Amino acid sequence: MKVNAEWRRKETIAHGIPRACVSHGLRRALWFLVLFCCVAAFILQAIQIVDKFLRHDIIVSVELRFERIPFPSVTVCNLNPYKNSLAREMGSVKDTVSEVLLERSIAMP
| pLDDT at position 9 | 57
Residue 97 near residue 87, CB atoms below 8 Å? yes
Task: Give the residue, 71 or 12, on which the prediction is more confident.
Answer: 71
Quote the CA–CA distance of 79 and 85 in Å, as a whole number. 15
> pLDDT of 44-101, one tens digit each?
999 999 999 998 888 888 888 878 767 666 666 667 666 766 666 666 766 777 777 7
| pTM, entire model | 0.40
Count CA within 13 A, CB hemisphere, residue 40. Answer: 6
Domain ranges for the chain, please list them: 2-55
Closest Cα to residue 19, out of 37, 32, 6, 3? Answer: 32
> pLDDT of 19-54, one tens digit each?
667 777 887 788 888 888 988 999 999 999 999 999
